[in-house]
Structure 1
């Protein structure tokens, strides 16, 4: 599978700053990120926000549906999917309610991400149901006192051995070293916070080398 990065933000100002880097395949959001960015979590309000993301080159926009009952969650998901058919991937939590709604979305050909994954057996559920992605929360697993890296490696092994096309959409990364360690273990799909994205480009040795190149180029011109 090819490498995919997703920008984890609901702030259009952040999108405008970071999407032109060409690094990101898409954008992921959720109601919490919308609240933090001062955006209204309402389908009618998300229409213009979604278009803004697509105009900036977002190939896949992941929008999380909300609702405490399966029918409410499904109705919300269908409304979100209609904002840009074929470009929206719907996120639902991997709970009983989320699974009931998710199965119906998959049956209608709507791309689905099961989110809030904490345990390896949940990956098998998502694979069996035919989801496109599952989003394990690395940092939050580690916050529980568990070895998050090993948990995700086990999840990836479950996918690989089952022959599923499911992608682990690794979320809650806290450091660039998390990214490289998990990529070395076979993971190909990651959500990056704006802070982590900036850190990827923040290498003092690279900056020093670039400064030296510029200085040497000036001397050559003389």
Structure 2
């Protein structure tokens, strides 16, 4: 029965229709590690930095994450508002006689589900594009701050802290960069990116076959 496939599509759509909560930086350790399993001497001129921890801990990163959460919830609400009446209609068609009129209603409903699934996928891409754009803006703001702290610490090389397996982290610049970035910028304003609609095949295609 087409209606059973429609209801299955409803379950799949409700479980992951837009996107999970989006943040500028995922969960990160504190900007300055308190201890490391390996020690060793401080190596002059070699410094460490975690961009992810900057995004997660700086005030502007936290503000951006909160705003992205708002945009994600709004996008999800749009999909939910369209999904609810379709679920109701799909349940109403369950158990109805298999005649030409009901088959036509089922086919029309399946097409509406397909359109909704495509809209959900499009919204997810827009949220991802927004997140990418915001991270780029914050990175641009952070770059001169990183350069300033780098010079203050007399660094000669800068490595990604997240790729270090251990050692002496005394030359970790992350905490200083977060402090300096907070002094430079506290928040950021942006709206959801709008992307052109794409002609695409959806998993809902199988619901009408």
Q: Same fold (TM over 0.5)?
A: no
Higher helix share: 2
Larger RCO (CA under 8 A, 6+ residues apart): 2
- Structure of higher CA gyration radius: 2
What is the TM-score when the length of structure 1 is the normalising length? 0.21
Higher strand share: 1
